[in-house]
Amino acid sequence: MTMSFSEFTQQDYEVIARDYADLKEAAMKRCTNQGEMDVVQKAFEFANEAHKGVRRRSGEPYILHPIAVAKIVVTNIGLGYKSIAAALLHDVVEDTDYTVDDIRNLFGDRIALLVDGLTKIKVVLDNDAKAGSRSIQAENFKRILLTLNDDVRVVLIKLADRLHNCRTIEFMPEYKRDKILSETMFIFIPLAHRLGLYEVKSEMENIWLRYKEPEAFNDITAKINRNMTDKEKEIDEFITPISTALTNAGFNFEIRKRVKTAYSIWHKMVTKGITFDQVYDLYAVRIIFTPDPHATETERDQCYHVFSIITDIYRYKSDRVRDWVKHPKNNGYEALHCTLMSHSGIWIEVQIRTKRMDDIAEKGIAAHWAYKKDGFVGENESEMDKWISKVKEILVNPDVNALELLDIIHNDLNTSDIFVFTPKGEQKRIQKGATALDFAYSIHTHIGNTAIAAKVNMRLVPLSYVLKSGDQVEIITAETESPKREWLQFLQTRKARNIVMDYLKGERNESIRRGRKMLEDQLAALGHKMNDEIVRKLADRYGIPDNPDEMYFRIGLGILKLNDLDNLARPAGPKPKQWLSWFLPKGKKGDFVINDEGGTSHRYVIASCCNPIPGDSVVGFLGPDGTVTVHKKSCAVANDEAAKHGDRIVVPEWEEAMQSSFLVRLSLKGFDRIGIINEITRYISFVMSVNIRRIDIATEDGVFEGVIDLYVHDKKDLDKLMKKLVKIEGIQNVVRTDL
């Protein structure tokens, strides 16, 4: 964040003293003795003097930022005095004349190492890419993750730093906001999730939504507040008999109420194509108990005991039981979830946790290691350690470039696991979506290489069969078999794909020739001739710039799909009647180009992945040929692009509406009745004067479901149309979905 210098006022000193007093109070609960508190005090005094007179872009004293980061470190993550001190000192080396050696002399080796790691991360993240450079942000994230090799606390403090930067993001220019929020969604939020930092993850997600989809955020937040006010009494009435029953059973417990976050509701609405009213598990009740150390039941059995007590009181939804006590998530999360029907008729999710489980759920890896250090060994306590070891293994692989690494880590962070069984009943963990062949390679390389088929639950299936949790899997092999190129079309796990690719490298030259020919033929079929510009564009898209042979090799193996070739090959030209401007003065129309502040003209295209329309929040990316591609801010493709190439972000603005039309898709659900389809189409075409491009609606057992593709002028017209359609008798749900 940009800084300035000016003398502090008395009010500034009072604010600093107040914020540090809050931090000190939190730190005293975590520090074990006065000596540790003395280190925190010394770090504050040193940082306070080093940042004296320096202000953030917001105008507040700069020292308030390290204090806030340190408070997140102790309160939200639960780290100790060395991490608190490092958080207070994390910007000193980069922003002042002090060195890491100065920190070492004053605070010792470990705090100096933490500060050094944080300084290196800050340097690369703040060093915006120069024109023409590629993948600098991918290299930056590699540097961040490499600190896992030294001390994972560096990553945890960095997450605290990123959270506070998100909290104060309103003071940044819009292009910088888009870069930071996209980085946050692409890597920091999944990283917080994998490290078990629920509070940090949830707050980052909500901030992302507030700026990427402000209308949706405000609408959902208002509905949450209204609903909680309306349902407060019902939830209290739901809790009362549970509380009585647990007390009578002798449990030492507390019960907390919560509602889903705005982001989690929005995400469910978008991914499932439903409205706010159809998100039925809005409310949750959390039962946190301290296990009886003298009981004959284990910690896990006591969770099941609580479950049996509450399901004697309320009916539960059997398909919504989630047993993460027996099978914890791969971020260490343990709890027993169930969804109960209250006597007043609302579904309420109940989460059952012990105090230890709750600490790990809220504080993540820091609590996990604290319990491990205290001698508590959970049945699945090593999952976090296994993941960190796996990340380290990826990081030191010389064959993985930075962009590939970023995609591997991103995919891994967002991948959940399932459990399957060997023929002898041994339980194995494997990523969701994995195939029988992935399972074969997870057992042993030789079994994978010689696999010919599989038996799943005693039934013969192909190697491409996608496994489900609980499957029993037997691999059938033949010694004469060997890896096939087509296996790469369906293998999901990195380990399996790498083994097959290594095996096939002996055929590299043939694969390069085949890949080049495939690209040439597909371009010719589309009416284009292969040239250096097309090859460069493709290589850049796939994250392997300046290495066309590697690209041909992967195309030849079938790893890279030649999607959207026509758009890539077509010379970027003006699109008539588009009406965007980038920093364009009001009143001046941008029919064919986007102008930047210096008056330079840029061609632009509307991204086909999200099809933004006037009124949507949008972000643009400046391509190597000067063309700007415009996406919705919440588009997953845009977030990936901004996370990898933040230097290409531009800020488009919608101009005053011209008479142009944009294609959108509406999904409808409801109860069938005679004439309802005619009523829908008549209203769209004649009342709203909207042109329908395609309608596809099917009816079964009195319920209809389908999509309508139509052309609208802007988001305001679309919102008006949707509100009118949902009022038609029989229509239950109208949502905008991707084309």
Higher pLDDT, 705 or 566: 705
What confidence tier does 44 reach under pLDDT thresholds 50, 70, 90?
A: very high
| Contact (CB, 8 A) for 190 and 222 | no
Closest C-alpha among 182, 168, 172, 138 to residue 634: 182
Please give the pLDDT value at position 585: 31
**Of the spans 61-65, 363-367, 636-640, which averages the highest pLDDT?**
61-65
What confidence tier does 587 reach under pLDDT thresholds 50, 70, 90?
A: very low
> Burial level of 381, CB count in 10 A (0-12/13-18/19+)?
middle
| Contact (CB, 8 A) for 408 and 494 | yes
Region 390-407 average pLDDT = 57
Residue 365 clears pLDDT 90, i.e. is over it: no
- Among 27-31, 297-301, 508-512, the range scoring the smallest mean pLDDT is 508-512
659 three-class SS? coil
Please give the pLDDT value at position 373: 54
Q: Which residue has the tokens 């801010």?
A: 633
- pLDDT (tens digit per residue) in 7-41: 888 998 999 999 999 999 999 988 889 999 999 99
The 8-class DSSP code of residue 699 comes to: E
Please give the pLDDT value at position 218: 94
Residues of the chain with CATH 3.30.70.260: 662-737
Residue 141 clears pLDDT 70, i.e. is over it: no
Angle at 342 between CA 337 and CA 343, to 5 degrees: 155
Find all residues with CB under 8 Å of 258, minimum gap 6, and list them. 283, 284, 285, 286
- pLDDT (tens digit per residue) in 159-215: 999 999 999 999 888 888 888 898 888 878 888 887 778 889 999 999 999 999 999
The CATH number of 662-737, from 3.40.50.410, 2.40.10.480, 3.40.640.10, 3.30.70.260, is: 3.30.70.260
Mean pLDDT, the chain, rounded, equals 81
- pLDDT (tens digit per residue) in 429-451: 788 889 999 999 989 999 999 99
Q: Is 705 a known active-site residue?
A: no
128 three-class SS? coil
| Contact (CB, 8 A) for 481 and 452 | yes
Please give the pLDDT value at position 703: 85
Higher pLDDT, 102 or 389: 102
**Of the spans 18-27, 142-151, 195-204, 696-705, which averages the highest pLDDT?**
18-27
Distance (Å, whole) CA 620 – CA 623: 10
Say which CATH architecture domain 3-172 belongs to.
Orthogonal Bundle (1.10)
391 three-class SS? helix
**Distances, alpha carbon 465 to alpha carbons 324, 449, 473, in Å:** 26, 17, 11
Ordered DSSP codes for 707-724: EEEEEESSHHHHHHHHHH
Region 594-615 average pLDDT = 71
Question: What's the gap between Cα 43 and its chain centre?
Answer: 34
Q: Which residue has the tokens 């710039």?
A: 545
What would the two tokens of residue 547 be?
Answer: 């290495």
- Among 392-406, 506-520, 674-688, the range scoring the smallest mean pLDDT is 392-406
Residue 337 clears pLDDT 50, i.e. is over it: yes
| % the chain with pLDDT above 70 | 81
288 three-class SS? strand
Q: Which residue has the tokens 């999200």?
A: 610
Distance (Å, whole) CA 372 – CA 378: 8
Angle at 483 between CA 477 and CA 489, to 5 degrees: 110
Residues forming a β-bridge with 620? 630, 650
Q: Is 679 a known active-site residue?
A: no
Give the active site residue among 60, 94, 596, 719: 94
What confidence tier does 381 reach under pLDDT thresholds 50, 70, 90?
A: very low
| Contact (CB, 8 A) for 160 and 75 | no
| Contact (CB, 8 A) for 421 and 472 | yes
Closest C-alpha among 379, 232, 242, 255 to residue 309: 242
Angle at 727 between CA 721 and CA 729, to 5 degrees: 130
Residue 598 clears pLDDT 60, i.e. is over it: no
Please give the pLDDT value at position 414: 60
Q: Which residue has the tokens 């040239």?
A: 531
Q: CA dihedral in degrees (124, 128, 129, 131; nearest 10)?
A: -160
Distance (Å, whole) CA 299 – CA 177: 45
- pLDDT (tens digit per residue) in 567-583: 666 654 433 333 344 43
Region 457-482 average pLDDT = 89
- Among 144-158, 301-315, 669-683, the range scoring the smallest mean pLDDT is 144-158
**How many other CB atoms sit within 10 Å of the CB of residue 650?**
20
Question: What's the gap between Cα 14 and its chain centre?
Answer: 38
Residue 459 clears pLDDT 50, i.e. is over it: yes
Residue 133 clears pLDDT 60, i.e. is over it: no
pTM: 0.69
Residues forming a β-bridge with 605? 629
Distance (Å, whole) CA 48 – CA 522: 63
Please give the pLDDT value at position 163: 95
Please give the pLDDT value at position 366: 66
Give the active site residue among 60, 95, 362, 591: 95
What would the two tokens of residue 698 be?
Answer: 């099917």
What would the two tokens of residue 32 be?
Answer: 């074990």
Residues of the chain with CATH 3.30.460.10: 214-373
Kindly state which CATH superfamily the domain 214-373 is placed in: Beta Polymerase, domain 2 (3.30.460.10)
